[in-house]
């Protein structure tokens, strides 16, 4: 059994090829994604929204993340598993080390955490300890209350420059991947071209290196459909596996996201 590695994702970026990611929270969907050939699975704290019915990701606990990562790990055959570090479980480097240990021991091959320059010491420490780190800029759901809601980030020159500076600093600290969420396409392209690490977008246009969507969103069963989401289930005439295959194929061919799924 051969698992996708972060090195493989880095090679895809270097070759100008796109990579795919979807969220999963159980063994069954992880198995289907493996069969289709999805490159990476994000076990996201978005489970708070789509599994638990919470308004935000804030209530999700570390124990819940461990449980769902374990479930996904059992069903996974070849995808790189990224595990979210939940709200306030990495507020200090020492706390982050323990959280990362638990996320990795549950079955993840990479941890994801949200934030910019304040995380630099944490990322250096995790990297020194052999933990691959994915960072997350733009709309960071764990900070949605501080951001004033679910809004596009980086639309003015000052915040755009700050995001670019943060991205460069996070890479220099040792981050191996970056997620950009709800970011204008031009800014996402600029950041992607400025970094050597893979950049994965959700609502960040087509010029990033890879795409991620929440599973329930792309299947069209979430109560709210954001601008950056496409209902692949409808396109696949109700066939779940075919919908996931279509998403994978359309990301690889740069058909998705289209202009209507992106922000100016």
Examine residue 257 and say whether the peptide bond preceding it is cis (omega within 30 degrees of 0). Answer: yes
Mean pLDDT, all residues of the chain = 96
pLDDT surpassing 90 at residue 3: no
45 is in an annotated binding site: yes
Tally: H helices and E strands in the chain = 12, 8
pLDDT surpassing 80 at residue 1: no
112 is in an annotated binding site: yes
Q: What's the rounded Cα separation, in Å, for the pair 224 and 221?
A: 9
pLDDT surpassing 60 at residue 254: yes
Indicate the DSSP class of residue 197: S
Q: What positions carry a catalytic annotation?
A: 181
76 three-state secondary structure: coil
pLDDT surpassing 80 at residue 4: yes
Phi-psi region of 124 (alpha: psi -120 to 50; beta: other; left: phi over 0): alpha
Q: What's the rounded Cα separation, in Å, for the pair 59 and 62?
A: 10
pTM of the full predicted structure? 0.96
pLDDT surpassing 70 at residue 224: yes
Question: Bridge-partner residues for 116, per DSSP?
Answer: none
């Amino acid at each position: 059994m051969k698992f996708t590695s972060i090195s493989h994702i880095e090679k895809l970026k270097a070759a100008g090829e796109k990579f795919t990611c979807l969220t999963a929270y159980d063994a069954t969907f992880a198995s289907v994604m493996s069969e289709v050939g999805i490159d990476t699975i994000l076990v996201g704290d978005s489970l708070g929204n789509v599994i638990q019915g919470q308004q935000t990701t804030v209530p999700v606990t570390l124990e819940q993340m461990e449980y769902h990562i374990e479930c996904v790990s059992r069903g996974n055959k070849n995808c790189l598993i990224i595990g979210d570090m939940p709200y306030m479980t990495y507020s200090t480097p020492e706390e982050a080390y323990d959280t990362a240990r638990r996320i990795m021991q549950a079955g993840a091959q990479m941890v994801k955490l949200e934030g910019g320059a304040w995380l630099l010491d944490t990322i250096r420490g995790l990297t020194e300890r052999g933990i691959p780190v994915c960072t997350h800029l733009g709309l960071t759901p764990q900070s949605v209350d501080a951001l004033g809601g679910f809004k596009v980030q980086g639309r003015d020159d000052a915040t755009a420059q700050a995001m670019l500076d943060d991205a460069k600093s996070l890479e220099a600290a040792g981050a191996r991947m970056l997620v950009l969420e709800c970011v204008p396409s031009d800014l996402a392209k600029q950041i992607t071209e400025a970094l050597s690490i893979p950049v994965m977008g959700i609502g960040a246009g087509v010029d990033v290196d890879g795409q991620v969507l929440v599973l329930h969103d792309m299947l069209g069963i979430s109560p709210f459909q954001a601008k950056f989401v496409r209902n692949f289930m409808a396109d696949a005439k109700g066939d779940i596996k075919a919908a996931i295959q279509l998403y994978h194929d359309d990301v690889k061919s740069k058909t998705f996201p289209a202009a209507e799924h992106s922000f100016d």
